[in-house]
Amino acid sequence: MRGYAQGKNDYLQRLRRIEGQVRGLQRMVEEDVYCIDVLTQVSAATAALRTVAVSLLDDHLSQCVSGAIEEGGSVADDKLREASEAISRLVRS
């Protein structure tokens, strides 16, 4: 079972809301809305995606990584490396 399975519906709801934000951005550009207003909405959509990403990472750490650590060995090492790489990608974005 995935770490986010219990909150799957919440994640889907958030992502649908973000999808709506992005569609709104498309409309804004089509309608030649002032660029600063578009940038403000881009920032809001980016922050919403970042919130989803951090929440998914938290679920991954508390479920998948902690379970692998209990198991130990190379499984734990692999999950820790995977989590570290995911954190690095988030920090770079």
Q: Among candidates 30, 48, 29, which has minimal Cα distance to 39?
A: 29
pLDDT digit string (tens) for 15-54?
999 999 999 999 999 999 999 999 999 999 999 999 999 9
What's the pLDDT band for 1 if we cut at 50, 70, 90? low
Is the sign of the CA dihedral 23, 29, 32, 35 positive or negative? positive
pLDDT digit string (tens) for 79-92?
999 999 999 999 99
Dihedral angle at the C-alpha atoms of 16, 12, 76, 71, nearest 10 degrees?
180
- Looking at domain 5-92, its CATH class is mainly alpha
The rounded mean pLDDT for the chain is 93
